[in-house]
Amino acid sequence: MKKIIRFSKLNIPFTIFSCVIIGLGIFSAFTRGINFGIDFKPGLIQEIRIVPPVISLSYDGLSNVSVETNSSGVTLVITGASENNTINFYYGKNPTIADMVASLSSVDGVTATALVSGSESSIGMFTNSEVSSVLSKTPFSLFRASEKPIADVDQVRDALSELGDVSVKATGSDSELSFQIRSADGKDKEMRDTRKNQIYTLLSNEFGKENIAVIKTDFIASNFSKGLVMKSIYLVLATLVLICVYVAIRFKWDLALAAVIAIIHDALILVSFVIFTQMEFSSITIAAVLTIVGYSINDTVVILDRIRENIKISGLKSFTEIWDLSQTEMLSRTLITTATTMLAVLALYIFVPGQMKDFALALIVGMIAGVYSTIYIAGSFACFCRRKWKPSDELKQTV
């Protein structure tokens, strides 16, 4: 017979270890707090890029001309008493700044001026959403990603430090660098508008008004954030209840409860990690928790299936021995499955920026916790419940 690894000898030490980790997580939640994302609290969130403008546009005519940008190029929308026209200037036909300036200047009344070298690429231009897109004699700026950003995340934080309750997060690579700026001061619209203006003014004073481009601005109302918190809690609880029902139907109540305790353990370990690291707790985190719950229960159910088989054929008289045998037989499957899945998740963590990096990190922690909990947490509870278990005809029929 294959040598059996006595996992059960470490059930109590690892159970105590998990309780300590979860306890510290709860303590940290009360002392340090949870870094809730904008999804879970009211406030203002802005995406801002700090780059120099590349083209200046002005218009001296009788029609109304507005500017739009998208992934394919720049669009001028011309409306007036005798004219309604939309003109697209695609990057494919205007690959450089000089080409785009020449094309835009061909429209009657429009004057386009290059603010950088005309040989630079025109691809990826955008506008400042805080400035009216209707052209006038006042210069209107078109921006483009820069290989050398004017500011980094620490400089932006320093510029906004006097506001106190503002958090800043960098997203994207150097050439696509943007800043997610969040303020929880959002009890009413007037306060939000005041804070928005304060942020824009401070950044303009520090880095130059002409270099600030607000990509988008969102407001989260308090009722919406509270409702989202409650819905997230209900979603996780409902998932646990459904899993408990499924496992209870397939196995006996004690093993079903052991499986549910294991996945609750994984969720709590993951949340504790998020609190320790002050990672932003957002809808992405909820998605990671639910993913880990599904991943963990799959591993546990496989072990329970093997236990049901071994009760019938192993001839062992102790449930603890059967548990150790089943875990030993399935160990290579568990490790190989987890390792191959983790390779894909590691690729996400290494190569993908922004919130997906946090999602990948949470999955890595959750998968490690899932393997550990299947062996020791579920095992501790199941072995405790069946410490006086003996083989019988009834148990041979169902586990």
Compare 300 and 136 and report the one with higher pLDDT.
136
- What one-character DSSP code corresponds to residue 63? S
Compare 101 and 311 and report the one with higher pLDDT.
101
Residue 227, burial from CB neighbour count under 10 angstroms (0-12, 13-18, 19+): exposed
Q: How far apart are alpha carbons 341 and 16 in whole angstroms? A: 28
Q: How far apart are alpha carbons 17 and 22 in whole angstroms? A: 9
DSSP assignment string, 359-374: HHHHHHHHHHHHHHII
Mean pLDDT (the chain) is 83
Q: Which CATH class is domain 7-39+224-397?
A: mainly alpha
- The pLDDT of residue 181 is 85
Q: Is the pLDDT of residue 169 over 70?
A: yes
Percent of the chain with pLDDT over 70: 90
CA-based diameter of the chain, in Å?
94
Q: How far apart are alpha carbons 233 and 73 in whole angstroms? A: 43
- The pLDDT of residue 243 is 78
Please tell me the least confidently modeled range out of 95-99, 212-216, 353-357: 353-357
Token pair belonging to 164? 């106190």
Contact 5, 324 (CB under 8 A): yes
Please report where in the chains the tokens 């819905």 appear, as a residue.
231
Compare 284 and 2 and report the one with higher pLDDT.
284
Taking residue 315's Cβ as centre, other Cβ atoms within 10 Å add up to 9
Q: Is the pLDDT of residue 395 over 50?
A: no
Could you report the per-residue pLDDT of 266-283, keeping only the tens digit for each? 889 998 998 888 887 877
Q: How far apart are alpha carbons 142 and 69 in whole angstroms? A: 9
Q: What does the pLDDT average to over 358-371?
A: 88
Q: Is the pLDDT of residue 393 over 50?
A: no
- The pLDDT of residue 41 is 66
* Most confident option among 132-136, 189-193, 374-378: 132-136
Sort strands 212-220 and 43-50 into parallel, antiparallel or unpaired. Answer: antiparallel
Q: Is the pLDDT of residue 352 over 50?
A: yes
- The pLDDT of residue 394 is 44
- The pLDDT of residue 46 is 86
Cα dihedral across residues 286, 292, 295, 298: positive or negative: negative
Q: How far apart are alpha carbons 188 and 42 in whole angstroms? A: 10
Could you report the per-residue pLDDT of 53-92, keeping only the tens digit for each? 999 999 998 889 999 998 899 999 998 766 788 999 999 9
Please report where in the chains the tokens 């009722």 appear, as a residue.
223
Q: Which residues 6+ apart lie within 8 Å of 74 measured at CB?
A: 67, 68, 88, 89, 100, 104, 125, 142
For the chain, the domains span 7-39+224-397, 43-220
- The pLDDT of residue 374 is 85
Q: Is the pLDDT of residue 223 over 60?
A: no
Could you report the per-residue pLDDT of 2-42, keeping only the tens digit for each? 678 888 888 888 889 989 999 998 898 888 888 777 666 66
Paired with 47 in beta bridges are 180, 216
Provide the Cα torsion 12, 17, 19, 21; round to 10°: -170
Please tell me the least confidently modeled range out of 116-125, 148-157, 358-367: 148-157
Q: What does the pLDDT average to over 217-234?
A: 67
